[in-house]
Amino acid sequence: MMAKATHKWAFKSTMRAGAYNWKSSSKAIERLKLASSEIRAVARVDPLTSAEGVIALAQRIWPAFEHIDTSSGALGTAVRRTLDEVIPVLIAAPADERTRTKWLEQLREAILDDGVDYLAPIADQFGKIAAYPVLMNEHADRDLNLIHNVWSDHTQYGHVPTATLTLSCLLEAGRYDELLALLVVKKTHLWFDEKFGAEALRRQGREDDALIYAETLLTNERNGWGRQEIARFCEGILVRHGRSDEAYCRFGPPSASGNTYLAMWRDLVKRYPDIDARRILEDLIATQGQKGKWFAAAKTAKYLDLALDCAAQPDAAPATLIRAARDFAIKDPAFAGQVGLHAIGHLLSGRGYDPSPLDIDAAVGHVMAASERLGKSDEAIQELERLAGNAAADVMMSASLKSKLSDIVKGRTKKLRNI
Protein backbone atom coordinates (compact mmCIF):
# COMPACT_ATOMS: atom_id res chain seq x y z
CA MET A 1 0.00 0.00 0.00
CA MET A 2 1.34 3.42 -0.93
CA ALA A 3 1.74 5.93 1.87
CA LYS A 4 -0.90 8.65 1.92
CA ALA A 5 -0.04 12.31 2.39
CA THR A 6 -1.69 12.83 5.77
CA HIS A 7 0.74 15.38 7.19
CA LYS A 8 1.69 18.82 5.90
CA TRP A 9 5.42 19.01 6.49
CA ALA A 10 6.51 22.33 7.98
CA PHE A 11 10.16 21.79 7.07
CA LYS A 12 9.43 21.72 3.32
CA SER A 13 8.92 25.49 3.20
CA THR A 14 12.37 26.04 4.74
CA MET A 15 14.15 23.51 2.51
CA ARG A 16 13.61 25.00 -0.94
CA ALA A 17 16.20 24.89 -3.71
CA GLY A 18 18.63 27.78 -3.31
CA ALA A 19 17.01 28.89 -0.05
CA TYR A 20 20.33 29.49 1.71
CA ASN A 21 23.30 31.69 0.84
CA TRP A 22 27.04 31.40 1.51
CA LYS A 23 26.78 32.46 5.17
CA SER A 24 23.64 30.54 6.13
CA SER A 25 25.29 27.56 7.82
CA SER A 26 23.93 28.29 11.31
CA LYS A 27 20.40 28.84 10.02
CA ALA A 28 20.54 25.63 8.00
CA ILE A 29 21.71 23.65 11.01
CA GLU A 30 18.78 24.97 13.06
CA ARG A 31 16.34 24.06 10.29
CA LEU A 32 17.75 20.52 10.19
CA LYS A 33 17.10 20.15 13.92
CA LEU A 34 13.49 21.25 13.45
CA ALA A 35 13.02 18.86 10.51
CA SER A 36 14.40 15.94 12.51
CA SER A 37 12.16 16.75 15.47
CA GLU A 38 9.11 17.00 13.22
CA ILE A 39 9.79 13.67 11.49
CA ARG A 40 10.41 11.81 14.74
CA ALA A 41 7.30 13.29 16.33
CA VAL A 42 5.15 12.09 13.41
CA ALA A 43 6.83 8.67 13.61
CA ARG A 44 5.29 8.08 17.02
CA VAL A 45 1.76 8.19 15.57
CA ASP A 46 2.19 7.51 11.82
CA PRO A 47 5.44 5.69 10.95
CA LEU A 48 4.59 5.35 7.26
CA THR A 49 3.97 9.06 6.78
CA SER A 50 7.11 9.89 8.79
CA ALA A 51 9.14 7.75 6.39
CA GLU A 52 7.77 9.82 3.50
CA GLY A 53 9.06 12.83 5.44
CA VAL A 54 12.55 11.33 5.52
CA ILE A 55 12.45 10.89 1.73
CA ALA A 56 11.28 14.48 1.27
CA LEU A 57 14.08 15.77 3.50
CA ALA A 58 16.75 13.74 1.69
CA GLN A 59 15.56 15.08 -1.67
CA ARG A 60 15.84 18.69 -0.45
CA ILE A 61 19.17 18.73 1.40
CA TRP A 62 21.51 19.29 -1.55
CA PRO A 63 19.28 21.70 -3.53
CA ALA A 64 18.67 23.80 -0.40
CA PHE A 65 22.26 23.82 0.89
CA GLU A 66 24.13 23.93 -2.42
CA HIS A 67 25.39 27.51 -2.00
CA ILE A 68 26.39 27.36 1.69
CA ASP A 69 30.05 27.57 2.73
CA THR A 70 30.85 24.15 4.21
CA SER A 71 34.54 24.73 4.97
CA SER A 72 34.06 24.62 8.76
CA GLY A 73 32.54 21.15 8.60
CA ALA A 74 29.72 22.14 10.96
CA LEU A 75 26.97 21.78 8.37
CA GLY A 76 28.22 18.41 7.17
CA THR A 77 28.28 17.18 10.76
CA ALA A 78 24.75 18.45 11.32
CA VAL A 79 23.46 16.74 8.17
CA ARG A 80 25.03 13.43 9.23
CA ARG A 81 23.60 13.73 12.73
CA THR A 82 20.14 14.50 11.33
CA LEU A 83 20.21 11.57 8.93
CA ASP A 84 21.45 9.25 11.67
CA GLU A 85 18.38 10.27 13.67
CA VAL A 86 15.81 9.77 10.90
CA ILE A 87 17.15 6.82 8.87
CA PRO A 88 15.92 4.33 11.54
CA VAL A 89 12.43 5.75 10.94
CA LEU A 90 12.77 4.91 7.25
CA ILE A 91 14.11 1.42 7.88
CA ALA A 92 11.43 0.53 10.43
CA ALA A 93 8.46 1.89 8.46
CA PRO A 94 5.78 -0.76 7.68
CA ALA A 95 6.01 -0.24 3.92
CA ASP A 96 5.18 -2.83 1.27
CA GLU A 97 7.50 -3.70 -1.60
CA ARG A 98 5.84 -1.30 -4.02
CA THR A 99 6.25 1.63 -1.64
CA ARG A 100 9.89 0.83 -0.95
CA THR A 101 10.53 0.52 -4.67
CA LYS A 102 9.34 4.10 -5.06
CA TRP A 103 11.40 5.30 -2.09
CA LEU A 104 14.59 3.65 -3.32
CA GLU A 105 14.29 5.27 -6.74
CA GLN A 106 13.79 8.66 -5.11
CA LEU A 107 16.79 8.15 -2.84
CA ARG A 108 18.99 6.86 -5.66
CA GLU A 109 18.19 9.96 -7.71
CA ALA A 110 18.92 12.22 -4.72
CA ILE A 111 22.28 10.50 -4.19
CA LEU A 112 23.18 10.94 -7.85
CA ASP A 113 22.32 14.67 -7.64
CA ASP A 114 24.14 15.20 -4.32
CA GLY A 115 27.13 17.47 -4.91
CA VAL A 116 29.09 16.86 -1.71
CA ASP A 117 27.98 13.44 -0.44
CA TYR A 118 25.61 14.84 2.17
CA LEU A 119 23.57 11.65 1.71
CA ALA A 120 26.46 9.27 2.41
CA PRO A 121 24.68 7.93 5.56
CA ILE A 122 21.73 6.92 3.39
CA ALA A 123 24.00 5.20 0.88
CA ASP A 124 25.71 3.37 3.77
CA GLN A 125 22.38 1.84 4.85
CA PHE A 126 20.71 1.53 1.46
CA GLY A 127 20.51 -2.25 1.76
CA LYS A 128 18.68 -2.00 5.09
CA ILE A 129 16.35 0.64 3.68
CA ALA A 130 15.58 -1.70 0.77
CA ALA A 131 14.33 -4.28 3.30
CA TYR A 132 13.14 -6.78 0.66
CA PRO A 133 15.78 -9.19 -0.77
CA VAL A 134 14.49 -8.68 -4.29
CA LEU A 135 15.07 -4.92 -3.97
CA MET A 136 18.49 -5.41 -2.39
CA ASN A 137 19.55 -7.58 -5.30
CA GLU A 138 18.04 -5.28 -7.90
CA HIS A 139 20.01 -2.28 -6.66
CA ALA A 140 23.14 -4.36 -6.09
CA ASP A 141 23.11 -5.51 -9.72
CA ARG A 142 22.20 -2.24 -11.39
CA ASP A 143 25.69 -0.67 -11.39
CA LEU A 144 27.79 -3.69 -10.41
CA ASN A 145 29.54 -4.09 -13.77
CA LEU A 146 30.12 -0.35 -14.09
CA ILE A 147 31.74 -0.18 -10.65
CA HIS A 148 33.93 -3.20 -11.39
CA ASN A 149 35.14 -1.66 -14.65
CA VAL A 150 35.87 1.73 -13.12
CA TRP A 151 37.65 0.31 -10.09
CA SER A 152 39.67 -2.12 -12.22
CA ASP A 153 41.17 0.73 -14.25
CA HIS A 154 44.13 1.84 -12.15
CA THR A 155 45.45 4.22 -14.82
CA GLN A 156 42.97 6.95 -13.93
CA TYR A 157 40.70 7.98 -11.12
CA GLY A 158 37.06 7.08 -11.48
CA HIS A 159 34.15 7.74 -9.16
CA VAL A 160 30.76 6.02 -9.24
CA PRO A 161 28.23 7.88 -7.03
CA THR A 162 26.23 4.70 -6.43
CA ALA A 163 29.18 2.56 -5.34
CA THR A 164 28.44 2.78 -1.61
CA LEU A 165 24.76 1.92 -1.96
CA THR A 166 25.76 -1.03 -4.16
CA LEU A 167 28.15 -2.34 -1.51
CA SER A 168 25.45 -1.91 1.13
CA CYS A 169 22.97 -3.92 -0.92
CA LEU A 170 25.51 -6.68 -1.59
CA LEU A 171 26.15 -6.93 2.14
CA GLU A 172 22.51 -7.02 3.20
CA ALA A 173 21.68 -9.50 0.43
CA GLY A 174 24.34 -11.85 1.82
CA ARG A 175 26.39 -11.77 -1.38
CA TYR A 176 29.63 -11.72 0.57
CA ASP A 177 31.95 -13.33 -1.98
CA GLU A 178 30.91 -10.88 -4.69
CA LEU A 179 31.35 -7.98 -2.29
CA LEU A 180 34.86 -9.01 -1.27
CA ALA A 181 35.84 -9.73 -4.88
CA LEU A 182 34.68 -6.26 -5.92
CA LEU A 183 36.72 -4.58 -3.17
CA VAL A 184 39.85 -6.49 -4.19
CA VAL A 185 40.04 -4.76 -7.59
CA LYS A 186 40.00 -1.27 -6.08
CA LYS A 187 43.35 0.52 -6.16
CA THR A 188 42.84 2.59 -3.02
CA HIS A 189 41.57 0.80 0.08
CA LEU A 190 39.81 3.12 2.54
CA TRP A 191 37.43 2.34 5.36
CA PHE A 192 34.32 3.92 3.86
CA ASP A 193 34.39 1.07 1.31
CA GLU A 194 36.33 -1.58 3.23
CA LYS A 195 33.98 -1.49 6.22
CA PHE A 196 31.53 -3.49 4.11
CA GLY A 197 34.20 -6.13 3.48
CA ALA A 198 35.11 -6.31 7.16
CA GLU A 199 31.45 -6.65 8.11
CA ALA A 200 30.94 -9.34 5.46
CA LEU A 201 33.71 -11.42 7.05
CA ARG A 202 32.28 -10.85 10.53
CA ARG A 203 28.79 -11.92 9.48
CA GLN A 204 30.20 -15.16 8.15
CA GLY A 205 31.69 -15.92 11.55
CA ARG A 206 35.21 -15.18 10.30
CA GLU A 207 35.94 -12.71 13.06
CA ASP A 208 39.70 -13.32 13.15
CA ASP A 209 39.85 -12.59 9.43
CA ALA A 210 37.68 -9.52 9.92
CA LEU A 211 40.02 -8.28 12.65
CA ILE A 212 43.08 -8.69 10.43
CA TYR A 213 41.25 -7.12 7.49
CA ALA A 214 40.37 -3.99 9.46
CA GLU A 215 43.59 -3.71 11.45
CA THR A 216 45.62 -3.70 8.24
CA LEU A 217 43.95 -0.40 7.37
CA LEU A 218 44.50 0.92 10.89
CA THR A 219 48.25 0.27 10.75
CA ASN A 220 48.62 1.82 7.32
CA GLU A 221 50.35 5.11 8.12
CA ARG A 222 49.22 6.64 4.84
CA ASN A 223 45.59 6.08 5.71
CA GLY A 224 44.41 8.67 8.24
CA TRP A 225 40.72 8.42 7.37
CA GLY A 226 38.33 6.51 9.60
CA ARG A 227 40.91 5.43 12.17
CA GLN A 228 38.48 5.85 15.06
CA GLU A 229 35.79 3.77 13.36
CA ILE A 230 38.31 1.06 12.45
CA ALA A 231 39.59 0.88 16.01
CA ARG A 232 36.02 0.66 17.34
CA PHE A 233 35.23 -2.20 14.92
CA CYS A 234 38.35 -4.15 15.97
CA GLU A 235 37.72 -3.44 19.63
CA GLY A 236 34.16 -4.78 19.33
CA ILE A 237 35.38 -8.13 18.01
CA LEU A 238 37.78 -8.62 20.92
CA VAL A 239 35.22 -7.53 23.52
CA ARG A 240 32.67 -10.00 22.18
CA HIS A 241 35.26 -12.74 22.65
CA GLY A 242 35.87 -11.76 26.28
CA ARG A 243 39.24 -10.17 25.56
CA SER A 244 38.50 -6.75 27.07
CA ASP A 245 42.01 -6.08 28.39
CA GLU A 246 43.50 -6.78 24.98
CA ALA A 247 40.79 -4.70 23.33
CA TYR A 248 41.66 -1.72 25.52
CA CYS A 249 45.42 -2.01 25.06
CA ARG A 250 45.21 -2.33 21.28
CA PHE A 251 42.23 -0.24 20.35
CA GLY A 252 40.81 1.58 23.39
CA PRO A 253 42.45 5.05 23.27
CA PRO A 254 42.40 5.29 19.44
CA SER A 255 38.66 4.56 19.47
CA ALA A 256 37.72 7.17 22.09
CA SER A 257 35.03 9.52 20.84
CA GLY A 258 33.62 12.82 22.01
CA ASN A 259 33.37 16.48 21.10
CA THR A 260 35.81 17.45 23.87
CA TYR A 261 38.86 15.86 25.47
CA LEU A 262 36.86 15.40 28.67
CA ALA A 263 34.10 13.64 26.71
CA MET A 264 36.67 11.30 25.16
CA TRP A 265 37.97 10.36 28.61
CA ARG A 266 34.45 9.81 29.94
CA ASP A 267 33.63 7.66 26.90
CA LEU A 268 36.50 5.28 27.65
CA VAL A 269 35.87 5.26 31.40
CA LYS A 270 32.27 4.22 30.74
CA ARG A 271 33.26 1.51 28.27
CA TYR A 272 36.06 0.14 30.46
CA PRO A 273 34.85 0.47 34.08
CA ASP A 274 37.41 -2.08 35.30
CA ILE A 275 40.40 -0.04 34.16
CA ASP A 276 41.78 2.72 36.40
CA ALA A 277 40.39 6.07 35.26
CA ARG A 278 43.71 7.85 35.77
CA ARG A 279 45.48 5.30 33.62
CA ILE A 280 42.91 5.89 30.90
CA LEU A 281 43.56 9.63 30.99
CA GLU A 282 47.32 9.12 30.85
CA ASP A 283 46.94 6.71 27.94
CA LEU A 284 44.74 9.16 26.06
CA ILE A 285 47.24 11.97 26.54
CA ALA A 286 50.05 9.75 25.29
CA THR A 287 48.02 8.45 22.34
CA GLN A 288 46.19 11.56 21.19
CA GLY A 289 48.98 14.09 21.71
CA GLN A 290 48.56 17.85 22.32
CA LYS A 291 49.17 17.43 26.03
CA GLY A 292 48.36 21.02 26.90
CA LYS A 293 44.87 20.65 25.48
CA TRP A 294 44.12 17.96 28.07
CA PHE A 295 44.39 20.43 30.97
CA ALA A 296 40.63 20.93 31.39
CA ALA A 297 39.97 17.18 31.27
CA ALA A 298 42.62 16.45 33.91
CA LYS A 299 41.36 19.31 36.10
CA THR A 300 37.72 18.21 35.91
CA ALA A 301 38.75 14.60 36.57
CA LYS A 302 40.48 15.93 39.73
CA TYR A 303 43.95 14.73 38.76
CA LEU A 304 45.47 18.09 39.57
CA ASP A 305 49.08 16.93 39.30
CA LEU A 306 48.40 15.82 35.74
CA ALA A 307 46.59 19.08 35.11
CA LEU A 308 49.64 21.09 36.23
CA ASP A 309 51.83 19.02 33.93
CA CYS A 310 49.44 19.80 31.06
CA ALA A 311 49.32 23.49 32.01
CA ALA A 312 53.08 23.76 31.56
CA GLN A 313 52.91 22.63 27.92
CA PRO A 314 53.16 25.25 25.13
CA ASP A 315 49.79 24.24 23.63
CA ALA A 316 47.85 24.93 26.84
CA ALA A 317 45.37 27.77 26.33
CA PRO A 318 46.14 30.74 28.63
CA ALA A 319 42.47 31.75 28.80
CA THR A 320 41.54 28.28 30.09
CA LEU A 321 44.31 28.43 32.71
CA ILE A 322 43.23 31.88 33.88
CA ARG A 323 39.66 30.69 34.43
CA ALA A 324 40.95 27.71 36.39
CA ALA A 325 43.14 29.98 38.55
CA ARG A 326 40.05 32.05 39.33
CA ASP A 327 37.86 29.02 40.12
CA PHE A 328 40.44 27.35 42.38
CA ALA A 329 41.73 30.45 44.19
CA ILE A 330 39.72 29.56 47.32
CA LYS A 331 39.26 25.78 47.24
CA ASP A 332 42.86 24.96 46.20
CA PRO A 333 45.02 28.10 46.24
CA ALA A 334 48.28 26.21 45.69
CA PHE A 335 46.95 24.77 42.44
CA ALA A 336 45.43 28.11 41.42
CA GLY A 337 48.70 29.93 41.96
CA GLN A 338 50.73 27.50 39.85
CA VAL A 339 48.16 27.48 37.06
CA GLY A 340 48.07 31.29 37.05
CA LEU A 341 51.86 31.47 36.78
CA HIS A 342 51.81 29.06 33.83
CA ALA A 343 49.19 31.25 32.15
CA ILE A 344 51.37 34.32 32.60
CA GLY A 345 54.38 32.47 31.22
CA HIS A 346 52.43 31.50 28.10
CA LEU A 347 51.17 35.05 27.58
CA LEU A 348 54.70 36.42 27.89
CA SER A 349 55.76 33.93 25.22
CA GLY A 350 53.11 35.25 22.86
CA ARG A 351 50.82 32.25 23.11
CA GLY A 352 47.06 32.11 23.23
CA TYR A 353 44.18 33.18 21.01
CA ASP A 354 43.87 36.96 20.67
CA PRO A 355 45.71 37.66 23.96
CA SER A 356 45.29 40.99 25.75
CA PRO A 357 47.24 42.79 28.50
CA LEU A 358 44.02 42.51 30.50
CA ASP A 359 44.66 38.76 30.59
CA ILE A 360 47.94 39.44 32.40
CA ASP A 361 46.13 41.65 34.91
CA ALA A 362 43.53 38.96 35.59
CA ALA A 363 46.12 36.19 35.94
CA VAL A 364 48.26 38.22 38.32
CA GLY A 365 45.19 39.05 40.40
CA HIS A 366 44.32 35.37 40.78
CA VAL A 367 47.93 34.42 41.59
CA MET A 368 48.14 37.06 44.30
CA ALA A 369 44.73 36.12 45.76
CA ALA A 370 45.81 32.49 45.99
CA SER A 371 49.23 33.30 47.45
CA GLU A 372 47.70 35.56 50.11
CA ARG A 373 45.48 32.70 51.30
CA LEU A 374 48.62 30.60 51.64
CA GLY A 375 50.62 33.36 53.30
CA LYS A 376 53.13 33.31 50.43
CA SER A 377 52.67 36.70 48.83
CA ASP A 378 56.40 37.47 48.89
CA GLU A 379 57.25 34.26 47.07
CA ALA A 380 54.58 35.00 44.46
CA ILE A 381 55.95 38.51 43.86
CA GLN A 382 59.46 37.12 43.44
CA GLU A 383 58.23 34.61 40.84
CA LEU A 384 56.35 37.32 38.97
CA GLU A 385 59.45 39.52 38.97
CA ARG A 386 61.45 36.63 37.58
CA LEU A 387 58.94 36.21 34.76
CA ALA A 388 58.91 39.95 34.09
CA GLY A 389 62.70 39.92 33.76
CA ASN A 390 62.61 37.60 30.73
CA ALA A 391 64.30 39.60 27.99
CA ALA A 392 62.63 37.51 25.26
CA ALA A 393 59.12 38.16 26.53
CA ASP A 394 56.40 39.80 24.46
CA VAL A 395 56.95 43.55 24.89
CA MET A 396 53.30 44.50 25.44
CA MET A 397 52.65 41.64 27.86
CA SER A 398 55.88 42.28 29.74
CA ALA A 399 55.02 45.96 30.14
CA SER A 400 51.59 45.04 31.49
CA LEU A 401 53.11 42.62 34.00
CA LYS A 402 55.68 45.16 35.19
CA SER A 403 52.98 47.81 35.60
CA LYS A 404 50.82 45.42 37.58
CA LEU A 405 53.76 44.44 39.77
CA SER A 406 54.57 48.09 40.41
CA ASP A 407 51.00 48.69 41.56
CA ILE A 408 51.18 45.67 43.87
CA VAL A 409 54.45 46.75 45.45
CA LYS A 410 53.20 50.33 45.93
CA GLY A 411 50.02 49.05 47.52
CA ARG A 412 51.92 46.82 49.92
CA THR A 413 54.28 49.68 50.85
CA LYS A 414 51.37 52.03 51.55
CA LYS A 415 49.68 49.36 53.65
CA LEU A 416 52.82 48.87 55.76
CA ARG A 417 53.13 52.61 56.36
CA ASN A 418 49.57 52.77 57.64
CA ILE A 419 50.14 49.99 60.17
SS (H, E, C) 183-229: HHCCCCCCHHHHHHHHHHHHHCCCHHHHHHHHHHHHCCCCCCCCHHH
pLDDT along the chain (419 residues), means of 10: 69 94 96 97 96 98 95 94 98 97 98 96 98 98 97 90 98 98 94 96 96 88 73 94 93 89 94 94 92 95 96 94 94 95 92 86 92 90 87 83 81 61
Predicted pLDDT of residue 356:
83
Give residue 107's identity as a one-letter amino acid code. Answer: L
Predicted pLDDT of residue 419:
54
Burial class for 204, CB neighbours closer than 10 Å (0-12, 13-18, 19+)? middle
Distance in angstroms (rounded) separating the CA atoms of residues 202 and 101? 29
Predicted pLDDT of residue 2:
46
Predicted pLDDT of residue 308:
96
Q: Count CB atoms within 10 A of the CB of residue 354.
A: 6
Distance in angstroms (rounded) separating the CA atoms of residues 384 and 365? 11
Q: Are 87 and 121 in contact (CB under 8 A)?
A: yes
Q: What residue ranges do the domains of the chain occupy?
A: 307-418
